[in-house]
């Protein structure tokens, strides 16, 4: 569905992302992992044509056979939001602070469709329900009235409003606590099963995607060092950097693990 070939991102003479290939299919969960500054976010922004003016992307990015890199700004505006949606890391700046959540969701639909006011509101409420939020109160509230987890859910609901084909999630759970982030991941998993949306999940924490990701791409200083099915990478990493990343996952000492297993057996 989304196919990237030989994508590079330059800043003046410096190459920030070296030729990168990526295939994302319908219903697939692809995780792009690597440390800060490895070019994950730049790659994701390049897909939506959101790079700032001093950065240049070359290569080929195709969405269902349509080349995205050479689209004009108005054409891109048509695709963004409708076919490619984003969720970002910082939930606090996911919504403009002085406009209600509902209005901002409404704006999104209005920019792309010609639905009536009631239809738009109905769709917003339905999507808020889909992310397990109390729809009506959230629709009418300002961003500062919601908690971090609620905001991130609302951001996901907004991203899914126009049933996009690809959801690009740029470390959406990094700023959340571990329990909330787990429930967000479960939510997205459920939505993916329901809608078959393709997900490009960007993270620096491999633990998060251990269970969910189908495919894994490991990046280091702008280069893909390893890619493949996620379970094969988890169990048989080939590149030394991947080994290092995997070994940095803290493990429960074996005596605790045994204790935990015993407890689970008992209860």
Phi, psi (degrees; rounded to nearest 5) at 232: -70, -35
Task: Point out which span in 5-13, 97-105, 125-133, 259-267 binds other proteins (CB under 8 A).
Answer: 97-105
Q: Which of 78, 122, 211, 231 binds other proteins (CB under 8 A)?
A: 78
> Which are the contacts of 182, defined by CB distance < 8 A and separation ≥ 6?
none
Instruction: Tell the residue number behind the tokens 């996952």, with chain if given.
Output: 249
Candidates 212, 156, 201; CA nearest to 34 is: 201
96 binds other proteins (CB under 8 A): yes
107 binds other proteins (CB under 8 A): yes
119 binds other proteins (CB under 8 A): no
Q: Which lies closer to other proteins via its Cβ, residue 133 or residue 155?
A: 155
Q: Which lies closer to other proteins via its Cβ, residue 10 or residue 112?
A: 112
Q: Which lies closer to other proteins via its Cβ, residue 29 or residue 86?
A: 86
Candidates 223, 225, 224, 227; CA nearest to 213 is: 227
Residue 245 to residue 31: CA distance in whole angstroms: 14
50 binds other proteins (CB under 8 A): yes
First to last CA, the chain: 45
List of residues contacting other proteins (CB under 8 A): 48, 50, 53, 77-78, 80-82, 84-86, 88-90, 93-99, 104, 107-108, 111-112, 155, 158
């Amino acid at each position: 569905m989304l196919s990237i070939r030989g994508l590079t991102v330059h800043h003046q003479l410096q190459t920030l992302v070296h030729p990168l290939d990526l295939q994302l299919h319908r219903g697939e969960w692809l995780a792009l992992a690597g440390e800060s500054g490895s070019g994950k976010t730049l790659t994701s922004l390049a897909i939506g044509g959101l790079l700032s003016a001093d950065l240049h992307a070359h290569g080929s990015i195709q969405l269902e056979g349509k080349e995205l890199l050479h689209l004009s700004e108005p054409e891109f505006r048509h695709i963004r939001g409708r076919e490619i949606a984003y969720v970002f890391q910082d939930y606090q700046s996911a919504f403009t602070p002085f406009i209600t959540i509902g209005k901002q969701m409404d704006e999104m639909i209005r920019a792309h469709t010609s639905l009536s006011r009631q239809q738009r509101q109905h769709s917003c409420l339905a999507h808020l329900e889909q992310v397990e939020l109390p729809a009506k109160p959230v629709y009418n509230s300002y961003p500062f009235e919601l908690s971090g987890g609620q905001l991130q859910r609302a951001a996901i609901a907004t991203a899914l409003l126009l049933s996009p084909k690809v959801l690009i999630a740029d470390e959406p759970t990094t700023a959340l606590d571990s329990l909330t982030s787990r429930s967000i991941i479960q939510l997205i998993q459920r939505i993916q099963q329901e809608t078959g949306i393709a997900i490009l999940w960007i993270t620096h924490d491999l633990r998060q995607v251990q269970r969910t990701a189908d495919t894994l791409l490991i990046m280091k200083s702008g280069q893909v060092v390893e890619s493949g099915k996620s379970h094969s990478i988890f169990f048989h990493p080939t590149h030394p950097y991947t080994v290092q990343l995997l070994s940095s996952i803290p493990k429960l000492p074996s005596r605790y693990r045994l204790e935990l297993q015993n407890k689970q057996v008992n209860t």
